[in-house]
Chains A and B, each alone.
Chain A
Amino acid sequence: MTAHIVAGIACSHVPAIGVAMDRGQTGTTYWEPLFKGYQPAREWLAKLAPDVAIVVYNDHANAFSLEIIPTFLIGVAEQFPIADEGFGPRPVPAVQGHSRLAWHLAQSLILDEFDMTIANEMPVDHGLTVPLSVTCGQPSAWPFKVVPLCVNVVQYPPPTGARCYKLGQAIRRAVEKFPEDLRVVIYGTGGMSHQLQGERAGLINRKFDTDFLDNLTKDPVALTKLSHTEYMREAGSEGVEMVMWHVMRGALDDDVAEVYRHYHVPASNTAVALMILENRSAS
């Protein structure tokens, strides 16, 4: 038996969503419509009960500063503490790693020509913890182990969408060589359209987002050809973090089923999506 990837989850990681949960505000008029749409995904994930989640996300000046900027990084620790992002750490459980799988992935990816940076110690920020909160609610311990995989999207340029997709394919090859029967889900986080900076802050592009979500299932390879400038112009300067979704998509079958989609505007400055893709081979 080996490990295998059973599903992919695309999930925006807006910090305000975490704050709303931490402060018990999810039932307010502002937040209720967003959180209502999360419930079916939580039920789906609880039923799926994966052993491990690979969470593809970006750090936001918390674990890493500009001192050293890894383009792709994998966390191999047994545990990851919650970062203080400038207003105290989120009151959520520490994240348990899967050190053996993470080391296996690091070695396999590097030998497969993806030059990963390896982190033995790092705190994790909202980029990772908000998707866990969105999909798991507020448990006293997270229900599965996590392999954090960071992608730089803070210092231009991030890796291309095409490179991210190929990394996803390599992750899948590596997972399928791990000699243990583990059911793995992979999260691609960030997005959707949003711009946090400059006079153009607040940009949202529902049409772009809808097309992106549709094509993630139908024609993911064409989607990997979007340039960074197209993301920034059409989906806002911070919308470029959607490249991370291609890592998730590359790790799935060519043929996937979209089993759930939730899209909502706004959460703070951002268009939010949660989408679940299942490998048809797994069903």
Chain B
Amino acid sequence: MTQTNDYDDIPGTYVYDAERGRLGYALNMFCMSLNKVENRKAFKDDEAAYLDRFKLSPEQRRTVLERDWLGMLRVGGNIYYTIKVAFCDGLTFQDVAGMMSGVPKETYAKMMLAGGRSVEGNRYKDAAQPTVENSVPTEEQK
């Protein structure tokens, strides 16, 4: 039986709760190891061999090797941890946020400069899925 939560109907959001905490521990602890400069180097030198040090599931391993940022969240990744893989690649939080929302970097940056993704239409899963198009805030919201 899967427990339901009152935040499950927020679209495009992966709350790092008990269930994800249980699934994602090894994946996130791999990410944590990248806080050490020598580990960052070892990972970049041979990613597959470095990942052998951690007990990741095959799917977790795939998401890391393919830099599937959304996939990492689905298999228990926590954004504050998975971002450390991105830092290793020289990416920023905004780069990864753009990739997760499925739009080009420039489009995402423009959305942020225009006031960010609007909450209107983005509160519930049964409304339209988050898009840049439905995300330009109206004058009233500003």
Contacts and interface: CB of A to CB of B under 8 A. Distances in A.
Interface of A: 15-16, 60-62, 65-67, 83-88, 154-157, 193, 195-208, 227-229, 232-234, 237-238, 265-266, 268-269, 271
Interface stretch (B33-41, B48-56, B57-65): B33-41
A228 B119 contact: no
Given A195-B117, A202-B135, 13 more contacts: A61-B31, A61-B35, A66-B25, A67-B29, A195-B13, A196-B93, A197-B14, A199-B101, A199-B129, A202-B117, A204-B119, A205-B141, A206-B115
Contact of B79 (A16, A86, A197, A207): A197
Nearest to B27: A66
A207 B140 CA distance: 9
A232 B6 CA distance: 11
A185 to B, nearest CB: 27
Most buried by B among A86, A201, A237, A268: A201
A234 B117 CA distance: 12
A228 B7 contact: yes
B92 A203 contact: no
Contacts of B1: none
A266 B6 CA distance: 29
A238 B14 CA distance: 11
Nearest to A238: B79
B80 A60 contact: yes
A86 B88 contact: yes
6 contacts: A16-B92, A16-B93, A198-B13, A199-B70, A232-B10, A269-B93
Contact of A268 (B21, B93, B123): B93
A88 B37 contact: yes
A200 B122 contact: yes
A197 B100 contact: yes
Contact of B37 (A66, A84, A197, A198): A84
B142 A269 contact: no
Nearest to A14: B93
A197 to B, nearest CB: 4
Given A86-B40, A86-B87, A202 B12 contact: no
Contacts of B87: 85-87
Contact of A202 (B29, B78, B116): B116
A237 B80 CA distance: 12
B30 to A, nearest CB: 11
